[in-house]
Amino acid sequence: MPMIREVIVTTIDPAGEAHLAPLGLIEAGDGWIIAPFRPSTTLDNLARVPFAVANYIDDARVFAGLVTGRRDWPLVPARQSPAPRLACALAHAELAVARIEKHAERPRFHCEVLHREQHAPFEGFNRARNAVLEGAILISRLHMLPREKIDQEIAYLSIAIEKTAGAAEREAWSWLMQKRDAFYASK
Ligand SMILES: Cc1cc2nc3c(=O)[nH]c(=O)nc-3n(C[C@H](O)[C@H](O)[C@H](O)COP(=O)(O)O)c2cc1C
């Protein structure tokens, strides 16, 4: 299995409107494959404007924010991609779609790297950030997963939050828990 890197992908529509989505980029030699399930704004954007930016971030609030409807994260222009990058990215890669593997549910956009840039140092792993990332994936699949699995995994991930979170990770976790509670309250 190829390595998958969890990033925030920025794309634009033909009018230049930017879209942000947490996605797993699939390693493919020197490039990356973006594989969004339909329906997806990222997919529609890539089909029409074949550029993207992979934003490598350590602010877990962006992952939690995007899966809980908080979409307003500051952007700045990229160098060679018309899609912008996140202002908070530690580093980013500008991508151009080289080939599209068609598929009814999950087309694969094979991308080559046009440009890479580093903005800030990576200062080490943090268990709570990882827990927020895992929690964001769970919350994005609430409608697909049994409640028992969600409850078990949230209970395990909460340990890392309690033991190792800073203020940003606690805020990100609270957004995820609010969304989980609202989802089950509406059942
Ligand atoms: C860390 C993380 C990784 C994800 N990876 C994928 C992915 O590889 N493919 C996918 O279709 N959705 C993935 N998702 C869910 C998408 O972010 C979510 O469906 C999003 O709304 C994409 O649709 P959009 O392009 O319409 O924004 C991921 C979510 C998280 C939190």
Rounded mean pLDDT of 123-148? Answer: 97
Mutate to test the pocket of ligand 1, among 23, 37, 40, 137 (most ligand atoms within 8 A of CB): 23
What rounded mean pLDDT belongs to the chain? Answer: 98
- The predicted model scores a pTM of 0.97
Domain parsing of the chain, residue ranges: 4-118, 127-185
Q: Are 11 and 46 in contact (CB under 8 A)?
A: yes
pLDDT digits (tens, 9 = 90+) for 91-115: 999 999 999 999 999 999 999 999 9
What local confidence, expressed as pLDDT, does residue 157 receive?
Answer: 98
The full length of the chain comes to: 187
What local confidence, expressed as pLDDT, does residue 176 receive?
Answer: 98
pLDDT digits (tens, 9 = 90+) for 23-62: 999 999 999 999 999 999 999 999 999 999 999 999 999 9
> What is the spatial distance between Cα 166 and Cα 161, in angstroms, rounded to a whole number?
8
Ligand 1, residue 9: give the atom nearest the CA: 25
Q: How far is the CA of 6 from the centre of ligand 1 (A)?
A: 10
What local confidence, expressed as pLDDT, does residue 187 receive?
Answer: 84
Rounded mean pLDDT of 7-26? Answer: 98
Architecture in CATH of 4-118: Roll (2.30)
